[in-house]
Amino acid sequence: MVSGMETLSETTPQQVAGRFGAYGGRYVPETLMAALEELEHAYAEAQKNPAFHARLDDLLHNYAGRPTPLYHAARLTEHLGGAKIYLKREDLLHTGAHKINNCIGQGLLAQRMGKQRIIAETGAGQHGVATATVCALLGMECVVYMGEEDMQRQELNVLRMRLLGAEVRGVSSGSKTLKDAINEAMRDWVTNVRTTHYLLGSVLGAHPYPMMVRDFHRVISKEAKRQILEKENRLPSAIIACVGGGSNAIGAFYEFIPEKDVRLIGVEAGGNGTTLGMHAARFRGGSPGVLQGTYSYVLQDDDGQVALTHSVSAGLDYASIGPEHAALHDSGRAEYTLATDEQALEATVTLARTEGILPALESAHAVAECIRLAPTLGQHEILVVNLSGRGDKDMGILARELKLKGAR
């Protein structure tokens, strides 16, 4: 299945780089092939360059606030009465979520490539804000594409981006949401590819993005592994993370993949129903297909049309999932489960009241799985939950939803 600007190139799975098992690859118009190859080479070269790493590490530490704490959630642990729970506090990073790790990395890479103009697309606005932040930091021009429907729903983030100096371009085609904004960003990139870097926000899109974005988030599991060994002198029983495109999850999983005794649990958005259109659980109802440059699981109808999705959390509300997760799913190395809107909202309340931490609604899906799993495990077991972001951005939705349900 092919959507929007993406056309299947002549390449076959065996011939293209950037595969994760059968998944991934590079399904883009010929006009973008040169740009992707340029990016791949620039990234490979930066990876080998100590000065690039020094600058990245410096900004992650002094600007973004790394390393983030691995916090023992004692009251939540006691409340659930099972496994010992640790939270990896990505919510404490500058701009309030893990997204800044990747934006700093790609911003520095664009600078190395001599590209002074950054484009991005955003749904709820979180990636747009992180991108606008890094462009201000590095003194680069920033254009963010956003569906007009999303601009109305997320006005505060539009204002944030503008205050940071970014130009927000409303997209009025199609459903006026994320996928239309992605198509516009692709069009811009094709036209301005010589001067412009497309700063993609998750482990999605054509090679090298899924690999590169994963590498920029690997720092999460590097730190978590070191921290849990320092605190407990052993590895956890499981790592739990929510999965939208899959960047915070793959970052939290990656260094544990070779540790076969550590379960890797990804939590998708179960939305408010099991039929197509009511959720964003790609592994419960999706099937392999191509969307926006990569081959992975896609929620689609019998004709291969991309399905509508729903989640209370905008960051998990996407019809496809990063290709590396598709491979981890098929190999059985990682497990994927889901939390419904209601479970995520309940988990938000539980974490707020036991620990004084308001999780992003995305992260609350991981907390919900922890709440389900912890009581089934013994007290000697350890769970690490990746708390991908903070909940301030969701206060409007929380106020509405929690009042509707009468939870006080």
Active site residue ranges: 99, 121, 388
Give the closest residue to 390 by CA, choosing from 72, 67, 76, 95: 95
Residues 227 and 364: beta-carbon distance below 8 Å: no
Give the residue with the Cβ less far from ligand PLP, 84 or 127: 127
363 sits near ligand PLP (criterion: CB under 6 A): yes
360 sits near ligand PLP (criterion: CB under 6 A): yes
Residues 126 and 202: beta-carbon distance below 8 Å: no
- How far, in Å, are 61, 153, 184, 266, 294 from residue 64 at the CA level? 6, 27, 29, 25, 30
The residues in 247-276 that bind ligand PLP, with binding defined as CB under 6 A, are: 247-249
Q: Binding ligand PLP by CB under 6 A: which of 68, 126, 296, 320? A: 126
Shortest Å, Cβ 41 to ligand PLP = 25
101 sits near ligand PLP (criterion: CB under 6 A): no
Give the residue with the Cβ less far from ligand PLP, 59 or 241: 241
Q: Binding ligand PLP by CB under 6 A: which of 184, 268, 346, 362? A: 362
99 sits near ligand PLP (criterion: CB under 6 A): yes
Give the residue with the Cβ less far from ligand PLP, 241 or 278: 241
- The DSSP string of 266-321 is EEEEEET-SSTTS-B-TTTT-EEEEETTEEEEE-B-TTSPBPP---SSGGG--SB-
Task: Tell the residue number behind the tokens 């495990």, with chain if given.
Answer: 377
Q: CA 182, CA 193: separation in Å to the nearest integer?
A: 15
**Region binding ligand PLP by CB under 6 A among candidate stretches 23-31, 72-80, 104-112, 236-244:** 236-244
Q: Binding ligand PLP by CB under 6 A: which of 97, 119, 262, 265? A: 97
- How far, in Å, are 80, 253, 331, 338 from residue 86 at the CA level? 13, 15, 27, 20
Q: How many helices (H) and strands (E) does the chain have?
A: 15, 14
Shortest Å, Cβ 398 to ligand PLP = 14
143 sits near ligand PLP (criterion: CB under 6 A): no
242 sits near ligand PLP (criterion: CB under 6 A): yes
Residue with nearest beta carbon to ligand PLP: 389
Give the residue with the Cβ less far from ligand PLP, 323 or 389: 389
Q: CA 271, CA 339: separation in Å to the nearest integer?
A: 8
Give the residue with the Cβ less far from ligand PLP, 316 or 383: 316
202 sits near ligand PLP (criterion: CB under 6 A): yes
243 sits near ligand PLP (criterion: CB under 6 A): yes
Q: CA 90, CA 223: separation in Å to the nearest integer?
A: 11
Q: What are the residues whose beta carbons fall under 8 Å from the beta carbon of 290, sequence distance 6 or more?
A: 1, 2, 3, 6, 8, 27, 298
Shortest Å, Cβ 30 to ligand PLP = 28
389 sits near ligand PLP (criterion: CB under 6 A): yes
**Region binding ligand PLP by CB under 6 A among candidate stretches 4-12, 192-200, 270-278, 357-365:** 357-365
Shortest Å, Cβ 221 to ligand PLP = 13
For the record, the structure tokens of 146 come out as: 């956003």
119 φ, ψ (degrees, to nearest 5): -120, 155
Shortest Å, Cβ 224 to ligand PLP = 15
Residues 242 and 388: beta-carbon distance below 8 Å: yes
Q: What are the residues whose beta carbons fall under 8 Å from the beta carbon of 396, sequence distance 6 or more?
A: none
Q: Binding ligand PLP by CB under 6 A: which of 177, 337, 348, 388? A: 388
Shortest Å, Cβ 98 to ligand PLP = 6
Shortest Å, Cβ 378 to ligand PLP = 29
245 sits near ligand PLP (criterion: CB under 6 A): yes
Give the residue with the Cβ less far from ligand PLP, 128 or 236: 128
Helix (H, G, I), strand (E, B), or coil: what is residue 214? helix
Residues 298 and 1: beta-carbon distance below 8 Å: yes
323 sits near ligand PLP (criterion: CB under 6 A): no
- Site residues (CB under 6 A) for ligand PLP? 97, 99, 126, 202, 242-249, 315-316, 360, 362-363, 388-389
